Amino acid sequence: MICSKCGSQIPDNSSFCNVCGAVIDNAAPAGIIPDIRQPFQQGGQVQPNGFAGFDPNAQMQQMNYSAQPQMPAYPMGAQAAGMPVQSQGGSRKKLIIIISAIAAAVAVVLLILFLFVFKSKKDLIVGTWQENGKSGSYTRFNKDGTVELVLGNDQTKSVYEIDGDSLIIKRENISMNYKIDELTEDKLTLSAVAGGKTNSVSFTKVNEDVAVKSYTEKSKLKTANSNAKLVFTTINNEAADRIADGERVEAVHTGGTVAVADLEDSSDPLLKAVYNALKDNGGEKGYVYIEFDPNDYESTGFVQWSASESGGLIGQYPNPAKTVEESEGMTFGQKN
């Protein structure tokens, strides 16, 4: 082939003249390969081609490089996935917020630990404690510095203070010093030296309402048993005195529950003696059931007393109920 521009001989089917660099018009359809001999635009100015010979690879690399767009400041993967891209300043603010939230949470945890874990001995000891192994034996330490050694009884109130590992209880001119071996939310262990020997006692903290109810019920049972015993010994002593005087004493059987107040006008001297004894002891408002035979030396009988005609807590003698549950299961007129 002959180049139509410079007249040089070139290989057949060439696209460019290897002498002058001209595009061979008949090598390809017009419009596909540009005439790179013409000036081209770069940086807003028209630039000449600037060469006598032509290296199409070098020119195309220059054109591609000049047209290459600037890479974005964020990962292409994030943008391609449609993810929001945070600026560097936004990330820093987010980090500050996270750190502040963590610091606040740590402060709350430390406050909880201080209030509930690291309580002082004075805070921990306040409450009602039951001596281990002794049902109904309660001691209550109050916030005002007083302690009730017998629950609900103002006559047993003392004052207490805690000095290091020492618990000091004072009442009038008496001072008792105990060593606190253990004190937690629900456990208390005290020890004291007496006669050269160390004695230790342990307590468990109990619910105040449960403790008061249990103590009250046990106190009622103790009163009921005491009144039953008083009735029995009163009848027995009265019968013994009359027998010693040569009188004949008949057996006493109430036949059911009887109000103590109704015995005031009884014609039976033994029952009259029962009223007088309970009146002096504050039990005349209760009810009694009596089976007593002074002439039966094997089984003289038994006595029951209760504050209620229907029963409830029943005191008995002999063989009194030892627990509230046992007493509540008894029946008036039926020996336990």
- Greatest mean pLDDT among 33-47, 127-141, 280-294 lies in 280-294
**Shared-domain flag, residues 115 and 126:** no
> 3-state SS of 291-327?
EECCCCCCCCEEEEEECECCECCCEEECCCCCCHHHH
In which residue are the tokens 């336990």 written? Answer: 336
The yes-or-no verdict on residue 146 having pLDDT over 60 is yes
Identify the pLDDT of residue 174.
Answer: 86
192 in any annotated domain: yes
99 in any annotated domain: yes
Task: Name residue 322's amino acid.
Answer: K
> Is residue 228 a contact partner of residue 320, using CB atoms and an 8 Å limit?
yes
Choice between 258 and 79, residue whose per-residue pLDDT is larger: 258
Choice between 236 and 47, residue whose per-residue pLDDT is larger: 236
Choice between 27 and 222, residue whose per-residue pLDDT is larger: 222
DSSP labels for 84-117? ----HHHHHHHHHHHHHHHHHHHHHHHHHIIIII
User: For residue range 306-325, what is the model confidence (pLDDT) as tens digits?
Assistant: 998 887 889 999 999 988 88
Residue where a domain terminates, one of 206, 221, 238: 206
251 in any annotated domain: yes
**Shared-domain flag, residues 192 and 215:** no
**Shared-domain flag, residues 45 and 98:** no
- CATH number (domain holding residue 157): 2.40.128.20
**Shared-domain flag, residues 248 and 306:** yes
Choice between 21 and 223, residue whose per-residue pLDDT is larger: 223
User: For residue range 45-60, what is the model confidence (pLDDT) as tens digits?
Assistant: 444 444 344 454 544 4
2 confidence band (pLDDT: 50, 70, 90): confident
**Shared-domain flag, residues 42 and 150:** no
88 confidence band (pLDDT: 50, 70, 90): low
**Shared-domain flag, residues 217 and 250:** yes
Identify the pLDDT of residue 26.
Answer: 57
**Shared-domain flag, residues 147 and 115:** no
What SS3 class is residue 54?
Answer: coil
Domain that holds residue 160: 122-206
**Shared-domain flag, residues 202 and 135:** yes
335 in any annotated domain: no
96 confidence band (pLDDT: 50, 70, 90): confident
**Shared-domain flag, residues 199 and 258:** no
Choice between 67 and 320, residue whose per-residue pLDDT is larger: 320
**Shared-domain flag, residues 261 and 275:** yes
Mean pLDDT of 7-15: 82
Percent of the chain with pLDDT over 70: 75
**Shared-domain flag, residues 202 and 214:** no
Chain mean position to CA 257: 49
31's tokens: 């419009």
Task: Identify the bridge partners of residue 198 per DSSP, sorted by sequence position.
Answer: 193
The domain tally of the chain equals: 4
43 in any annotated domain: yes
75 in any annotated domain: no
286 in any annotated domain: yes
> Is residue 148 a contact partner of residue 157, using CB atoms and an 8 Å limit?
yes
Q: How far apart are CA 268 and CA 91, in angstroms?
A: 101
**Shared-domain flag, residues 169 and 107:** no
